[in-house]
Structure formats: structure tokens, C-alpha cells
């Protein structure tokens, strides 16, 4: 029985529709439909979910479990990787599954390491697991071309460029987790689990130049005062948690920036409260998709993120291009470039680029003080810049701006105040754009209004806004809802810069107030797909929408609003205030007081009868 037949029989016996089955499995209706029409089989993670569901149905469905196992066996005979890598679908590991996996992983080493250190041990193992699962998918892809697993492996051994990352057998997850035997040379057999992990990381880095100095920095076998930093027992528990089959991390098992999301969770859950999040600001994935839709990247364009983090914004720009134009029609991929200071984020960004076959380069360093992408003695210009810099950064010496060798600040309206580098980042981004370049920058909402309406003209941030408004460089300001970002409950905004506005947008600024367009979540709110599409569509149409979008003349913002470009100043999203006669309000208040007195009288009688003394 084929997998499609198993699903059909399952529905027939249980008398449920495709939609109902999708709900029970927590999958989408189109996924069930594609299964039954033999469009594709589930990936290993989803197979676990289906098998577990059939088990819950009892003995009357025992034969379906057998048929299901037979279908799986046909797909991967005797452990061979002859199955085709799963086709792209919406069946990514969900946020809750990811957080559950990471929480269990953290619990396995709790007590041996302080919470802020959890990420230092969990993340490298996630790297190995992700790379190993992707490598398995690569082998499956080559099996289609060369007929069997043995031939595919021989081809890979002869030419490592056939795969994204080459993983030596000794370093693959099945060997690391003890699920597959490996014959080590007598003198090189690891004596501890920690040594086995450390050797695997160093082997992977040795075979993949882009990962050298990135994933091989931790020593899992290190000792301090004669004691292991982390015991083999704890490491074995950690490995076992990550080895659960439902936590597969292959190409199509998890979202593109899975490692970035995992790093974000570990920081937020275990390091942030101890003040060790290092000021890292992560962009919610739906905000990243919104930015990609706002920018509408075109084939062959160069895209830059000066604060790239784990590379999520860059990756989403490429994926948005593929989604919009079709994978087969994109002949010139985007040229992605990023710079990141934090080591772990830098490592994830480099991996993300390669895993997703993207033409990208991520370098490490402080962009503000030492930008790495240079050309002809100055900054290299790009078609698009997308970024989410640290908000209100206050650790930059004001003298630095005056002595900048790249002249990013003085020619662009002056210098940012020491209390916030928000507009200094905008200046750097403008200096990094080609003559027709455009940018989307996530900033604190205060960057749109600080200093406006104050006496005098000495407010530095207002003067910087004035320069950008007067030069007609601001295309849009988009106010986001509260409590989207993990590091703060405050709202953020997206500032859209365009050096070459189209004719009908010249001397105008599009203001969008999307503060009400969210769904409540725990612990954070989020933008729905519909909200992302609504904002992007409204931006591209550029037409007024009541209580949502308003197009303001640039001159009016300058003359009447003192360069305040905050959407909330111009767009009221709430209900109109109802004004009532004061006497009517007092009459209602009197009724409420009378009702309260009567209720207290009844309660007094009840408690007195029960023998209690009313206070």
C-alpha cells in the first residue's frame, strides 16, 4: 500500500474529511490533499506525527500501521537514503515544537551550567544536527541522479563541491549520537563524549572553509581545576534530546532561519534576564517578510545588511524574489552581503547562506567603526539595504562622528546625539546606497519625533530628520504594533528610504499606522500573513486608507509639524470619542451607587445569618 492509499483508507474508516484530518494532525488542508494525490510523501518529522496519530486510534487500525511502515520501508530501504528530499511545503517545524525541543535540551544540562551558558553548548550541537540532516538530504538528491547511495557517496567523496557542506562520516549526527558505528583509528578513538563532539566540530570546520573559526571555537572536553566543564552524562542527555526523530532539521523540515530563531529563543529565555543578551535585537520573521515585500528585490540586485544578525532579512529577500518570480525563472540571484559583530549570529548567517544556495558573503566586525564592504576607498554602494540596528545605541563617542574617514555623517545633516545612534545608522545606510537605491530600516518609534516641537533648532535628531525630509529621501514611515520584538514591549517602525522616488511620490511621504494589525500571542504579539500583505499592498498602492494610511505633502510636514514623521500623529486608529452631557453622566453614576448599596445590604444579611460580623 502506498502512502497516499494509507491516508485515504485512514479517512474512509474514521469517516472524516481532509480538512478534519488536517486539523487533527495540525497541518494544512492542501498538505493532506497533496498526499492523497501522490504529489509528495511527508518528510521524516511529519511521518512521526502521522504514525503517532494512527496509534491513538486503537487496535482496529493496527493494519494501517503495518501498511504505513511498509510505505516508509519502500521509501528508505534498509536504511538507504534513496528517498527524494522532501518537496518544499508549509510543514516546517512550528515555533512551539522548536521551543519545546530547546527547553528539553536546556533542561538536560540544567545544574551543570548557568542558564546564560546554555546556548554555548546547545547551539554548536544544533549546528552539527542541522548540517548533518541537510547533508542527508543532499545525498538523497544525488541518489536520484546516480542510482544508489553508494554511488552518490563516492561522487561526493571525489568532489565536495557537489554538496552545500561536506560532512565527514565521523562527524555526522548518527555517529555522534551513537546510532551508527564508526571504526576510529586506534590512536584517535575519542575517550569522552566531549572529545567526540569537539572533534566533530573541528572536522566539519576543516572540510568547510567558510565555517573555520566559526563553529570550532568551543571545547566540549575542557576542564577547570581538574573537573570537566560539562560532564559526559549531561552531554549524552543533550544529544539524546536532539536525536528525537520528530526534530529533524533538514532543508525542508524547518524555516530558512531556524538557527537564528533558536539562538533568539535561547538568549531570550536563558540569557536576557541576566543582562547577557549583548544588546542583540532580533527581527520577528513576519517583519522580515514585510520588509522583503516592501523592497521588491529584482534579479541580480545587490542587497546589504550592515547589522545582519543571523542573516534572516537577507535570506527573506532572496526567498521573496523566488516566490514572486518563480524558482525556475530566476536566472540571476541576489548578491547578498552582511556584516555582523556577534560571533554566534555571524556563524548562523554564514551557514544560512550556504544551506539555501544563496550567493552571499557575511563578514564579522563592527560596521559603525570598521565597515568591511569598501570600494575605491569609500563605502561600497548597494541597490537595497535592509537592517534592524540596535535601537538607541548610546555607546558611540560623539567625536567619532566628526572624525569619520568615510564622511558618512557631516554631509548628511550633522551628527547624531550621544544618547541615540538611530539616525547615524540611517546616515550610514544612505551612504551605502547606489543612486537609485532603496532601504528599509527598523527603528525605535522615537526616532520619528524626538526634538520636534521643541524650542530652537539645536536638536540633533530633528536636524537629521530635516535633512532627509528636505532632500525628499523618505518614502514611507510604517508604525508597527506594540510588543512584537523580544527585547522590548515597545513598538517599532520601518523607515523606507528611496534615492529615486517615482514621479507620483516626489515631495510626499507615505505614513502607515499598523498598530492595530496584530494578533495577541504569548509572550509576544505577531503580524498575521494577512496583515503583512495588507501593509505591503497599501504601501505599493500609495492611496489614502481611512485610519490606516495617509499621504502627506513633504512641505506640510516641514512647515506645520516641525519634521515630526510619526504616523500616530497623523492617523488616528481608535474609535471616535463620544462626548456626553455631564448631568447624564452624574445620573448614571447615581444609579450605580444605588445598586452597589443594595448589593451590600443583601450581602450583610446573608453573612449575618451565617454568624459572621459584617465590618
CA nearest neighbour of 257 among 431, 126, 391: 126
- 280 within domain boundaries: no
Between CA 467 and CA 42 the distance in angstroms is 55
Q: Are residues 190 and 293 in the same domain?
A: no
- 604 within domain boundaries: yes
| Amino acid 59: pLDDT | 81
Q: Are residues 258 and 304 in the same domain?
A: no
Q: Are residues 344 and 215 in the same domain?
A: no
| Amino acid 77: pLDDT | 40
- What are the pLDDT digits (tens) for 168-185? 999 999 999 999 999 998
- 86 within domain boundaries: no
CA nearest neighbour of 438 among 386, 391, 387, 511: 386
Between CA 559 and CA 563 the distance in angstroms is 8
CA nearest neighbour of 247 among 77, 42, 92, 50: 92
Q: If you average pLDDT over residues 354-369, what whole number do you get?
A: 84
- 404 within domain boundaries: yes
Could you tell me the CATH number of the domain that includes residue 7? 1.10.260.40
- What are the pLDDT digits (tens) for 249-299? 988 888 777 887 788 788 777 755 443 344 455 788 899 999 999 999 999
State the DSSP code for 113.
B
CA dist 274 to 2, 102, 116, 321, 559, Å?
Answer: 53, 19, 7, 40, 46
Please name every residue paired with 439 in a beta bridge, in sequence order, or none if there are none.
385, 497
- 217 within domain boundaries: yes
pLDDT at 94 over 90: no
Q: Are residues 109 and 234 in the same domain?
A: yes
CA nearest neighbour of 114 among 273, 335, 336, 6: 273
Q: What percent of the chain has pLDDT over 70?
A: 90
Q: If you average pLDDT over residues 539-543, what whole number do you get?
A: 95
- 311 within domain boundaries: yes
Q: Are residues 35 and 155 in the same domain?
A: no
Could you list the residue range(s) of the whole structural domain that residue 596 is in?
580-615
Q: How confident is the model at residue 6 (pLDDT cuts 50, 70, 90)?
A: confident
Q: Are residues 540 and 565 in the same domain?
A: yes
Q: How confident is the model at residue 93 (pLDDT cuts 50, 70, 90)?
A: confident
Could you tell me the CATH number of the domain that includes residue 125? 1.20.1260.30
Q: Which of 274, 295, 311 is the last residue of a domain?
A: 274
CA dist 310 to 73, 83, 134, 217, 282, Å?
Answer: 37, 31, 18, 18, 9
User: Under the phi-then-psi rule, with left for phi > 0, alpha for psi from -120 to 50, and beta for the rest, what region is 527?
Assistant: beta
| Amino acid 30: pLDDT | 60
Q: Are residues 52 and 140 in the same domain?
A: no
Q: How confident is the model at residue 436 (pLDDT cuts 50, 70, 90)?
A: very high
User: Under the phi-then-psi rule, with left for phi > 0, alpha for psi from -120 to 50, and beta for the rest, what region is 521?
Assistant: beta
Q: How confident is the model at residue 88 (pLDDT cuts 50, 70, 90)?
A: very low
Q: Are residues 192 and 332 in the same domain?
A: no
Average pLDDT of the chain is: 85
Q: Give, to the nearest 10 degrees, the angle between helix 118-146 and helix 149-158.
A: 110
Give the total residue count for the chain: 615
| Amino acid 82: pLDDT | 33
Backbone phi, then psi, for 192, in 5-degree steps?
A: -140, 165
* Least confident piece of the model among 36-45, 286-295, 296-305, 527-536: 36-45
Q: Are residues 346 and 302 in the same domain?
A: yes
Classify the C-alpha dihedral 59-61-63-68 as positive or negative: negative
Q: Give, to the nearest 10 degrees, the angle between helix 18-25 and helix 44-56.
A: 100
Could you tell me the CATH number of the domain that includes residue 469? 3.40.50.150
Q: Are residues 42 and 171 in the same domain?
A: no
| Amino acid 449: pLDDT | 92
Q: How confident is the model at residue 455 (pLDDT cuts 50, 70, 90)?
A: low
pLDDT at 190 over 90: yes
Q: Are residues 588 and 555 in the same domain?
A: no
Q: What percent of the chain has pLDDT over 90?
A: 46
| Amino acid 80: pLDDT | 36
Between CA 534 and CA 557 the distance in angstroms is 25
Q: Which of 17, 41, 75 is the last residue of a domain?
A: 75
Question: Are 131 and 145 spatial neighbours (Cβ–Cβ below 8 Å)?
Answer: no
Q: If you average pLDDT over residues 417-445, what whole number do you get?
A: 96
- 87 within domain boundaries: no
| Amino acid 300: pLDDT | 95
The H-assigned helical ranges of 184-282 are 193-207, 232-242, 258-266
Angle at 466 between CA 461 and CA 472, to 5 degrees: 135
- What are the pLDDT digits (tens) for 96-145? 888 889 999 999 988 887 777 888 889 889 989 999 999 999 898 888 87
Question: Are 24 and 11 spatial neighbours (Cβ–Cβ below 8 Å)?
Answer: no
* Least confident piece of the model among 45-49, 74-78, 80-84, 570-574: 80-84
Q: Are residues 615 and 543 in the same domain?
A: no
Number of domains in the chain: 4
pLDDT at 40 over 60: no
- 88 within domain boundaries: no
State the DSSP code for 545.
B
Amino acid at each position: 500500500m502506498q502512502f497516499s492509499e494509507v491516508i485515504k483508507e485512514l479517512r474512509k474508516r474514521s469517516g472524516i474529511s481532509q480538512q478534519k484530518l488536517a486539523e487533527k494532525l495540525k497541518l494544512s488542508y492542501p498538505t493532506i490533499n497533496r498526499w492523497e494525490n501522490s504529489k509528495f510523501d511527508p518528510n521524516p518529522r511529519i511521518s512521526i506525527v502521522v504514525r503517532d496519530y494512527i496509534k491513538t486510534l486503537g487496535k482496529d487500525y493496527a493494519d494501517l500501521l503495518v501498511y504505513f511502515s511498509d510505505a516508509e520501508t519502500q521509501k528508505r530501504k534498509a536504511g538507504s537514503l534513496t528517498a527524494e528530499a522532501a518537496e518544499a511545503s508549509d510543514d516546517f517545524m512550528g515555533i512551539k515544537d522548536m521551543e519545546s525541543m530547546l527547553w528539553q535540551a536546556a533542561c538536560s544540562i540544567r545544574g551543570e551550567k548557568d542558564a546564560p551558558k546554555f546556548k554555548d553548548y546547545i547551539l554548536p550541537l544544533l549546528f552539527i544536527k542541522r548540517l548533518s540532516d541537510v547533508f542527508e538530504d543532499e545525498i538523497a538528491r544525488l541518489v536520484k541522479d546516480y542510482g544508489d547511495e553508494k554511488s552518490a557517496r563516492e561522487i561526493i567523496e571525489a568532489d565536495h563541491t557537489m554538496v552545500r557542506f561536506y560532512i565527514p562520516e565521523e562527524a555526522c549526527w548518527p555517529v555522534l549520537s551513537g546510532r551508527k558505528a564508526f571504526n576510529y583509528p586506534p590512536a584517535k578513538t575519542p575517550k569522552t563524549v566531549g572529545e567526540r563532539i569537539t572533534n566533530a566540530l573541528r572536522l566539519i570546520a576543516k572540510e568547510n572553509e567558510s565555517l573555520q573559526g566559526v563553529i570550532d571555537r568551543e571545547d566540549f572536553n575542557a576542564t577547570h581545576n581538574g573537573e570537566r566543564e560539562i560532564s559526559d552524562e549531561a552531554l549524552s542527555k543533550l544529544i539524546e534530546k536532539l536525536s528525537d526523530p520528530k526534530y529533524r532539521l533538514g532543508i525542508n523540515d524547518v524555516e530558512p532561519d531556524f538557527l537564528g530563531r533558536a539562538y533568539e529563543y535561547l538568549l531570550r529565555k536563558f540569557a536576557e534576564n541576566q543582562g547577557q543578551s549583548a544588546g542583540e535585537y532580533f527581527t520577528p520573521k513576519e517583519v522580515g517578510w514585510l520588509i522583503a515585500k516592501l523592497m521588491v528585490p529584482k534579479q541580480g540586485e545587490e542587497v546589504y545588511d550592515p547589522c545582519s544578525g543571523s542573516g534572516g532579512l537577507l535570506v527573506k529577500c532572496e526567498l521573496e524574489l523566488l516566490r514572486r518570480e518563480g524558482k525556475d525563472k530566476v536566472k540571476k540571484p541576489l548578491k547578498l552581503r552582511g556584516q555582523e559583530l556577534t560571533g554566534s549570529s555571524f556563524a548562523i548567517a554564514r551557514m544560512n547562506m550556504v544551506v539555501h544556495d544563496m550567493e552571499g558573503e557575511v563578514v564579522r566586525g563592527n560596521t559603525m567603526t570598521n565597515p568591511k564592504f569598501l570600494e575605491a576607498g569609500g563605502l561600497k554602494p548597494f541597490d537595497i539595504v535592509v537592517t534592524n540596528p540596535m535601537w538607541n545605541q548610546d555607546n558611540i563617542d560623539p567625536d567619532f562622528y566628526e572624525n569619520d574617514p568615510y564622511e558618512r555623517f557631516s554631509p548628511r545633516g550633522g551628527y547624531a546625539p550621544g544618547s541615540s545612534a538611530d539616525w547615524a545608522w540611517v546616515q550610514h545606510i544612505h551612504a551605502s546606497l547606489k543612486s537609485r537605491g532603496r532601504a528599509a530600516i527598523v527603528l525605535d518609534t522615537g526616532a520619528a519625533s524626538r526634538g520636534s516641537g521643541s524650542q530652537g533648532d539645536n536638536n540633533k535628531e530633528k536636524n537629521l530628520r530635516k535633512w532627509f525630509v528636505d532632500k525628499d529621501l523618505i518614502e514611507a514611515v510604517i508604525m508597527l504594533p506594540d510588543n512584537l520584538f523580544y527585547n522590548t514591549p515597545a513598538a517599532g517602525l520601518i523607515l523606507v528610504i528611496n534615492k529615486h522616488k517615482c514621479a507620483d511620490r516626489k515631495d510626499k511621504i507615505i505614513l502607515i499606522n499598523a498598530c492595530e494589525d496584530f494578533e495577541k500571542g504569548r509572550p509576544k504579539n505577531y503580524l498575521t500573513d494577512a496583515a503583512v500583505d495588507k501593509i505591503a499592498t497599501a504601501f505599493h498602492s500609495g492611496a489614502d486608507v481611512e485610519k490606516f494610511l495617509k499621504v502627506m505633502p513633504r512641505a506640510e510636514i516641514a512647515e506645520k509639524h516641525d519634521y515630526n514623521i510619526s504616523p500616530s500623529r497623523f492617523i488616528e486608529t481608535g474609535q471616535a470619542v463620544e462626548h456626553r452631557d455631564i448631568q447624564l453622566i452624574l445620573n448614571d453614576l447615581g444609579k450605580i451607587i444605588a445598586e452597589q448599596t443594595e448589593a451590600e445590604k443583601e450581602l450583610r444579611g446573608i453573612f449575618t445569618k451565617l454568624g459572621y460580623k459584617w465590618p
